[in-house]
Amino acid sequence: MTLQQLETFYWIVQLDGFAPAAERLCATQSTVSMRLRELERSLGVELFDRTQRKARLTPRGREVLDYATRILNLSSELSHRVAAPDSVSGTIRMGVAEVVSISWLPALIQTIAREYPQVRLEIDEALTSDLMDSLAQGELDLVLAPGHTRMHDVSAISLGTVEFAWMASPGLVSARDVHTPTQLAQYPIIGLKPQSFHSAAIDAWFLRDHAHCHYLARCKSMGVAASLAMAGMGVTYLPLPNFQRQLEEGLLEIIEVANPFDPVEFVAAVSPEHTYSLPSAIAEIAQNVSEFRKQ
């Protein structure tokens, strides 16, 4: 029995198939199948019930998965806590929310490259809900995103908070007045897609005042939403640090509102079984590099 065999078995289960496990491990499917057979032979048990249309873990397979997870975590902890950082290798699949990617993500990548030169990064930018789904399904190792500090199925550390504000093209909405949700709902709203954390926060804010807003457009990108707002097409809700230049140049102006949102907390999230793994070490680096406001 080897760590390589246990790792192969672990990823077959986590990714629900031999093909995705082979891709994750940069191996052929025949190699993955061979490693699994060797593991079963060394343990003297069958790990999968192959009598069903789709292979399922046997009771012994579930028991072995628990041991394999603990062994791999201990191996990973030993590797990145004790071994020299430049000897640590592997691939980290990292999902990031747009607010991270348009701010301090380059600084994070530079720091990771300096501290772990043998580690390769695969970066995916998407909406928060999509990123968290991918983390839960084992398709991502680490997520940097807002609003998931209390999810029971992730281990998360804070990256700090970001202040958002309502913005519009100068002259579209009176910048001298303080607007209630009902008053702001009279203007076209430019938001993100419905499954985004951003959209859920906006809807909840309007509902505080029993108001219902009209969406002119829902975008996947805050950059697109800002462009539409600068064209005078509606009001949008944007992170202040990322649009200071547009505010200073008069392309956008802040719309004051009653009962404004609290700053949004961002976190670095990993699966609980990776608490001591390389993704967690990268999460700690992200916490140190983050330019978001710390408590």
The CATH number of the domain covering residues in 3-81: 1.10.10.10
**Tens digit of each residue's pLDDT (9 = 90 or more) over 155-167:** 889 999 999 999 9
Task: Report the alpha-carbon angle 88-16-196, nearest 5.
Answer: 80
Query: Confidence class of residue 148 from pLDDT cuts 50, 70 and 90?
Result: low
For the domain made up of 88-160+265-289, the CATH class stated in words is alpha beta
pLDDT of residue 191: 92
The CATH number of the domain covering residues in 164-262: 3.40.190.10
Query: Confidence class of residue 275 from pLDDT cuts 50, 70 and 90?
Result: low
Check: pTM over 0.85? Answer yes or no.
Answer: no
For residue 11, give both structure tokens: 């990823």
Query: Confidence class of residue 262 from pLDDT cuts 50, 70 and 90?
Result: confident
CB-count exposure of residue 244 (10 Å: 0-12, 13-18, 19+): exposed
Question: For residues 117 and 166, what is the distance between their CA atoms, to the nearest angstrom?
Answer: 41
Q: Where are the domains of the chain?
A: 3-81, 88-160+265-289, 164-262
- Same fold: 3-81 with 88-160+265-289: no
Q: What is the CA radius of gyration of the chain?
A: 23
Give the residue from 106, 124, 78 showing the smallest Cα distance to 278. 78
Which amino acid makes up residue 284? Answer: E
Residue 251 has pLDDT above 60, yes or no: yes
CB atoms within 10 A of CB 34: 14
CB-count exposure of residue 52 (10 Å: 0-12, 13-18, 19+): exposed
Q: Is the dihedral of CA 210, 215, 219, 223 positive or negative?
A: negative
Question: For residues 59 and 28, what is the distance between their CA atoms, to the nearest angstrom?
Answer: 27
